[in-house]
């Protein structure tokens, strides 16, 4: 079984976001594997351990993303691919889709896993976009995956309800929280990861033209949510408090 | 791994200058180091921290389970060679694991005692059979180890132990009798490294299985801090130990004890910086959250000054620790593979850095005590309440100045070791002391430029001269009897300690500036400036007090005037520098360099 995992390097969820001149400052920030992609890596390793085969992790990003690929290798993935997108101007979800499409054109795959959404951009588009381009079936928000022969039974989270879907392979499935508990990269795993293959590919290697992968969207503005104001405690008789509250909701918060 | 401080003997920093490239700094960590640190930190924060309350309540089955889990991840096997079931990592990896385990509060003691003083004696001094028998189970956590040296009547005077070992008539077993006190992990350990005197004279180490008849433990001690570690008396009553369980040679137990103590002291210093960083994080976050007079208290400059002080001291301890780690790693790896398995050789290689190990122990534990004290202060009344983490940190910190050799013992060891090395010709101290006397008489204070680190380097150079003057004077005046002058020795040790720390921060910062420019290294530079000035004032004070005690009349006047020349400098504005340091800490709510 050939399993591929799409993985993105993202800000650590603990990081504070700072914006300067419309750009997000990433100086000195800590980076991690997008947590949803981490579920995908864990699931891929478990499926491989049960059904055999190989796990390859793929990312689109700059050379810094090598660290996150190494982490996935340390968790137990077999090989890694880093697709460099630095030459692409204004890269967006479309650009990533084009690069991945070109990458997978040369590959044989039974299962492609990814995260449901990335915690930074939050578009949740890459999985479905890629499945569409590869003309394979996709299931999003998986909380359980069982493989039987050429079929995958996927339990997906639908706004709190569960839906069970059967699909035939090859398929692309994205992971939701609850799918599994990702393992820590063990120390022997970390040392082994050093020696596992990690291939870096650029646009030429994939035979993709810069212009063809240029982003289709334009970022108009970036801003942080307004800072939360301190709460107020109303005082006096209950009746008076209620009236005051209603008044504030109407005039101050303007929600009534 | 790159070679750092190559060929530098322990203590050599007092006499020679090294270049930044010869020094290991946290900025030199590899990706693997970062990943190892992250795995450890994630494990501790996600698995251990939620259980801490129960562990502090002596639910040691949880400690044992967590140690096994740590073992599965490889967190117990870093110092155990692969052929004995470990992972055999470098010193820095194992240092990072120790540092991150400090986040586990008192559980870090269970981990530290097991992987350090519990397991290392067998790694370094065990026979092939002993290594194969014990190390695989110790590396996975299947078995837990403990170290039993202290007795009710012998603490610092470890060789004064009263526990005895007598060979039985058949010549097959030693029979051990005695009591060991304050043994970490005693409540659940499977293996004890026990020191006893054969025939009441020959100090010897033994590997004792906990299930051997006659081995028992006393009740859990009630302690001021580190309540989550098991601490009991180990009682040995006619315990028959096969003679194959002698560790090292009969009568040579002190070699093992002292070498393990060296590593233990180094690791203790490492744990202290891990805890200090946590205290800074907690305090910065609290200072941002707590409002008084309608402002977060982090806006008050006296609070900022405390945070900056905590960070600068921690930066100095961290720089010293990893520098020492680089030295130990280098010493270890300059041995042939054959020699790496020979405890005597390994011990000797590490013992060469006994001075540095003691310095890290003393400095690290005192920095941490200082840091947690200020952390409580920043928390105000809440810091005195048990629900707040700093209350525990404050209590847990105190033991560090006591165990692994009290800071007093370690202070005495520093000048004693320097003198012994000088006498043996390992350190050209006496030669330099003679030439420097004349130089000092002629010396004129220099004008210092204002390039980054220029003043700090000048002060460091002078601090080394001050050391020569004070140590030389002490050696001349007291000769063999110097060991009776404990206050003078402590002053010398303090001067040496500050020299090591100052040099470590200067070189680390210089290396960082060379790598990424002065702007990106700004925080490091500020902390270096603030720390160096404080340390230099301490050096001046210690030197003055020592000189006044030792000398009098014209001699004293001459020396004091030399000291004055050596200490003349224009002080920097530490107040505004501290505010700048604090700005980063408050912004990021953690220790940043």
**The CATH number of the domain where B61 resides is what?**
1.10.540.10
Mutation target among A187, A195, A230 for the B interface, most CBs of B within 10 A: A187
| Residue ranges of chain A that CATH labels 3.40.50.620 | 2-213
Question: How far is it, in rounded angstroms, from Cα A96 to Cα A136?
Answer: 17
Pick from B29, B33, B39 the residue to mutate for testing the A interface (most A CBs within 10 Å).
Answer: B39
Same domain, B158 and B217: yes
User: At the topology level of CATH, where does A2-213 sit?
Assistant: Rossmann fold (3.40.50)
What distances in angstroms separate CA A154 from CA A67, A159, A168, A169, B444, one per listed residue?
30, 16, 11, 12, 82
3-state secondary structure of A82: strand
The verdict on residue B492 lying in a domain is yes
Residue B393 belongs to some domain of the structure:
yes
Last residue of a domain, one of B143, B176, B202: B143
Are residues B270 and B398 both part of a single domain? yes
Residue B155 and residue B129 in one domain:
no
- Residue B397 resides in a domain: yes
Q: In this structure, are strands A151-158 and A137-148 parallel, antiparallel, or unpaired?
A: antiparallel
The model carries a pTM of 0.92
Q: Does A231 touch chain B (CB under 8 A)?
A: no
Is residue B473 within 8 Å of residue B551, measured between CB atoms?
yes
Report the residue of chain A nearest B88, measured CA to CA: A188
Residue B212 lies in a domain: yes
Same domain, B295 and B154: no
- Let me know whether B483 and B575 are in one domain: yes
Same domain? For B225 and B258 the reply is no
- The answer to whether the Cα torsion of B39, B44, B47, B50 is positive or negative is negative
**CB of B73 within 8 Å of any CB in chain A?**
yes
DSSP string, B525-546: HHHHHHHHHHHHHHHHHHHHHH
Q: Which residue has the tokens 């501290």?
A: B578
Residues B221 and B324 in one domain: no
Using an 8 Å CB-CB cutoff, list chain A residues near B94.
none
- Rounded CA gap, B145 and B432, in Å? 46
Residues 430-469 of B with CB under 8 A from A: none
Half-sphere exposure in the Cβ direction for B576 (13 Å, CA): 3
Q: What is the ipTM of this complex?
A: 0.89
**Residue at B414 is within a domain:** no
User: Rounded distance, CA B165 to CA B239, Å?
Assistant: 9
| pLDDT tens figures, B387-437 | 999 999 999 999 999 999 999 999 999 999 999 888 888 888 878 877 887
What pLDDT is stored for residue B542 in this prediction? 98
Q: Do A187 and B31 make contact, defined as CB atoms within 8 angstroms?
A: no
Biggest CA-to-CA distance, chain A: 74
Instruction: Encode pLDDT of B136-181 as tens digits.
Output: 999 999 999 999 999 999 988 888 999 999 999 999 999 999 999 9
Q: Which residues in chain A are closer than 8 Å to B584, comparing Cβ atoms?
A: none
A28: chain B residues, CB-CB within 8 Å = 588, 592
Q: How far apart are CA B245 and CA B130, in angstroms?
A: 8
Residue B417 resides in a domain: no
Domain edge (last residue) among B143, B166, B185 = B143
Residue A233 and residue B106: Cα distance in Å, rounded?
Answer: 40
Q: Are residues B23 and B139 in the same domain?
A: yes
pLDDT value at residue B428: 83
How does pLDDT run across B172-224, given as a tens digit for each residue? Answer: 999 999 999 999 999 999 999 999 999 999 999 999 999 999 999 999 999 99
Q: Which of B35, B77, B93 sits opposite A71 (nearest CB)?
A: B35
Show the domain range for B236: 147-247
Q: Which two tokens stand for residue B324?
A: 């020492």
Within 10 Å of residue B65's Cβ, how many Cβ atoms?
A: 14
Q: Is the pLDDT of residue B5 over 80?
A: no
**Residue in B with minimal Cα distance to A28:** B592
Here the CATH number for the domain that contains residue B483 is 1.20.140.10
B593 inside domain: no
pLDDT at B375 over 90: yes
Are B134 and B153 contained in the same domain?
no
Is residue B340 domain-shared with residue B486, that is, in the same domain? Answer: no
Mutate to test the interface with B, among A12, A184, A227 (most CBs of B within 10 A): A184
- Are residues B242 and B299 part of one domain? no
Write the pLDDT tens digit of every residue in B226-236. Answer: 999 999 999 99
List of residues 6+ apart from B431 with CB closer than 8 A = none
Residues of chain B found within 8 Å of residue A70, distances taken between Cβ atoms = 31, 35
Does B40 fall in a domain?
yes
Q: Which of B143, B171, B193 is the last residue of a domain?
A: B143
Could you tell me how many helices (H) and strands (E) chain A has, helices first?
7, 13
Same domain, yes or no: B449 and B577? yes
Q: Which run of H or of E encompasses B267?
A: helix B253-289
Q: How many CA atoms lie within 13 A of B358 on its CB side?
A: 28
Q: Report the domain count for chain B.
A: 4
Whether chain A has a CB inside 8 Å of the CB on B36: the answer is yes
Would you state the structure tokens that stand for residue A198, as one six-digit string? 């990690």
Question: What is the mean pLDDT of the segment spanning B282-305?
Answer: 97
On the question of pLDDT at B6 being above 60, the answer is no
CB distance from B32 to chain A under 8 Å? yes
């Amino acid at each position: 079984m050939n399993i591929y995992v799409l993985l993105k390097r993202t800000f650590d969820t603990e990081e504070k976001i700072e914006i300067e001149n419309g750009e997000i400052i990433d100086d000195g920030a800590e980076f991690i594997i997008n947590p949803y992609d981490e579920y995908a890596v864990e699931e891929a390793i478990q499926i491989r351990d049960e059904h055999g085969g190989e796990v390859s992790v793929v990312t689109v990003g700059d050379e810094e993303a090598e660290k996150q690929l190494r982490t996935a290798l340390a968790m137990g993935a077999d090989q890694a691919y880093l697709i460099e997108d630095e030459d692409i101007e204004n890269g967006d979800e479309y650009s990533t889709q084009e690069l991945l499409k070109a990458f997978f054109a040369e590959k044989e795959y039974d299962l492609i896993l990814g995260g449901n959404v990335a915690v930074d951009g939050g578009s949740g588009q890459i999985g479905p976009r890629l499945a569409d381009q590869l003309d394979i079936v996709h299931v999003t928000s998986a909380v359980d995956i069982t493989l039987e022969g050429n079929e995958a039974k996927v339990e997906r989270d639908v706004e709190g309800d569960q839906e069970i879907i059967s699909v035939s392979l090859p398929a692309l499935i994205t992971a939701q929280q609850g799918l599994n508990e990702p393992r820590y990269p063990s120390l022997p795993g970390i040392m082994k990861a050093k020696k596992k293959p990690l291939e870096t590919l650029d646009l030429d290697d994939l035979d993709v033209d810069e212009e063809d992968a240029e982003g289709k969207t334009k970022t108009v503005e970036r801003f942080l949510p307004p800072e939360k104001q301190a709460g107020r405690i109303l005082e006096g008789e209950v009746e008076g408090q209620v009236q005051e509250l209603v008044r504030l909701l109407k005039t101050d918060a303007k929600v009534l | 791994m790159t070679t750092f401080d190559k060929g530098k003997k322990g203590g050599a920093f007092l006499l020679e200058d090294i270049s930044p490239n010869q020094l290991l700094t946290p900025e030199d960590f590899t990706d693997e180091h970062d990943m190892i640190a992250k795995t450890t930190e994630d494990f501790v924060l996600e698995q251990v921290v939620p259980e801490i309350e129960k562990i502090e309540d002596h639910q040691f089955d949880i400690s044992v389970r967590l140690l096994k889990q740590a073992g599965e991840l490889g967190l117990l096997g870093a110092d155990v060679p692969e052929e004995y079931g470990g992972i055999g990592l470098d010193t820095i990896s194992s240092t990072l694991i120790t540092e991150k385990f400090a986040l586990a509060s008192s559980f870090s003691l269970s981990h530290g005692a097991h992987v350090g003083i519990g397991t290392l004696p067998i790694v370094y001094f065990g026979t092939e059979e002993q290594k194969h028998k014990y190390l695989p189970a110790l590396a996975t956590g299947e078995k837990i180890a403990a170290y039993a040296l202290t007795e009710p009547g012998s603490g610092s005077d470890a060789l004064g132990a009263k526990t005895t070992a007598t060979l039985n008539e058949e010549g097959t077993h030693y029979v051990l009798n005695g009591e060991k006190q304050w043994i970490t992990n005693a409540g659940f350990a499977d293996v004890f490294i026990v020191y006893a005197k054969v025939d009441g004279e020959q100090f010897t180490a033994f590997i004792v299985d906990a299930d051997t008849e006659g081995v028992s433990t006393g009740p859990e001690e009630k302690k001021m801090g580190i309540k989550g570690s098991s601490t009991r008396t180990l009682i040995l009553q006619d315990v028959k130990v096969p003679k194959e369980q002698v560790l090292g040679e009969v009568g040579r137990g002190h070699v093992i004890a002292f070498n393990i103590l060296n590593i233990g002291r180094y690791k203790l210093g490492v744990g202290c910086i891990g805890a200090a960083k946590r205290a800074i994080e907690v305090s910065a976050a609290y200072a941002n959250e707590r409002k008084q007079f309608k402002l977060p208290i982090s806006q008050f400059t006296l609070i900022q000054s405390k945070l900056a002080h905590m960070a600068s001291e921690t930066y100095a301890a961290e720089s010293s620790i990893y520098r020492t780690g680089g030295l130990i790693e280098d010493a270890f790896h300059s041995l042939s593979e054959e020699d790496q398995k020979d405890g005597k050789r390994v011990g000797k290689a590490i013992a060469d850095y006994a001075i540095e190990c003691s310095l890290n122990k003393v400095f690290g534990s005192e920095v941490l005590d200082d840091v947690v004290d200020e952390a409580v202060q920043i928390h105000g009344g809440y810091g005195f309440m048990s629900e707040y983490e700093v209350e525990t940190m404050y209590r847990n910190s105190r033991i560090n100045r006591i165990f692994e050799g009290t800071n007093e013992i370690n202070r005495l060891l520093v000048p004693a070791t320097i003198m012994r090395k000088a006498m043996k010709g390992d350190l050209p101290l006496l030669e330099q002391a003679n030439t420097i006397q004349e130089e000092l008489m002629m010396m004129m204070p220099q004008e210092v430029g204002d390039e980054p680190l220029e003043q700090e380097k000048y002060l460091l150079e002078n601090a080394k001269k001050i050391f020569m003057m004070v140590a030389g004077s002490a050696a001349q005046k007291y000769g063999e009897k110097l060991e009776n002058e404990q206050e003078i020795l402590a002053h010398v040790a303090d001067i040496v300690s500050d020299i090591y720390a100052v040099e470590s921060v200067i070189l680390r910062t210089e290396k960082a500036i060379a790598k990424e420019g002065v702007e990106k290294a700004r925080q490091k530079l500020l902390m270096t400036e603030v720390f160096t000035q404080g340390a230099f004032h301490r050096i001046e004070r210690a030197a003055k007090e020592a000189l006044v005690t030792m000398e009098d009349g014209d001699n004293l006047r001459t020396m004091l005037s030399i000291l004055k020349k050596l200490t003349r400098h224009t002080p920097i504005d530490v107040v505004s520098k501290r505010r700048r340091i604090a700005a980063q800490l408050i912004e990021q709510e953690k220790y940043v360099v």
